[in-house]
Amino acid sequence: MPLWTEAIAFVFWFFYACFFEWVAHRHFMHAPRYPLHDFFRGHMQHHRTYRGDHRFQVEAEGFVPGVTLRWYAFPGMLLGHMPFFALFEWLTGWPTFWGGVAACALYFAGYEYTHYLMHVPRGYFLERWSWFRFIRNHHHLHHRYMRCNYNVFIPLADACLGTLRVGGIGSAKK
């Protein structure tokens, strides 16, 4: 029983992460809300740096600052969710804690990795997938029209909550 409940928990919390990303992006990264106003400042700097069509992508060697979230975002997000995973497991009696931790960790890693490649292309195999080209275009539209496409990694919440905007931008080169 533990393995299949962890697998179901993984799927549930992974989909939940899509909505968590949407809420965090829309309500904390696009508005200066206490106590997370630092996310707003960092994100607005990101939008100023990677704005419009001509500066959405940069070509540079090494690590490019200002693309990823702050260093404390991942541990804060994961540690902030762990009590909910533990509470759910305690309330149900089903082993689901590690499925939730794995789902959030994988979602966040996928978010950071794909977001970085959207702005700093490296020519990796992943960048040639049609799915990646779709979400890069999806995110590029967000940089053009900031009131839409709040999901970066998987635009499920955008589709469900009415903020999905589709359309072609092209290659999005600088």
Q: Is the peptide bond between 155 and the residue preceding it cis, with omega within 30 degrees of 0?
A: no
Q: What is the pLDDT of residue 168?
A: 67
Is 28 a residue whose pLDDT tops 80?
yes
**Dihedral over Cα of 145, 37, 54, 22: its sign:** negative
Domain count, the chain: 1
Q: Does 153 map to a domain?
A: yes
Q: Does 86 map to a domain?
A: yes
Q: Does 172 map to a domain?
A: no
Q: Does 123 map to a domain?
A: yes
Distance CA 111, CA 66 (A): 15
Q: Does 93 map to a domain?
A: yes
Quote the Cα angle for 120-121-127, to 5°.
Answer: 135
Q: How many CB atoms lie within 10 A of CB 95?
A: 15
Q: Does 174 map to a domain?
A: no
Q: Given pLDDT bands bounded at 50, 70 and 90, which one contains residue 23?
A: very high
Is 74 a residue whose pLDDT tops 80?
yes
Q: Does 41 map to a domain?
A: yes
Q: Does 170 map to a domain?
A: no
Residue 97, domain extent: 2-161
- Show the tokens assigned to 146: 């900031």
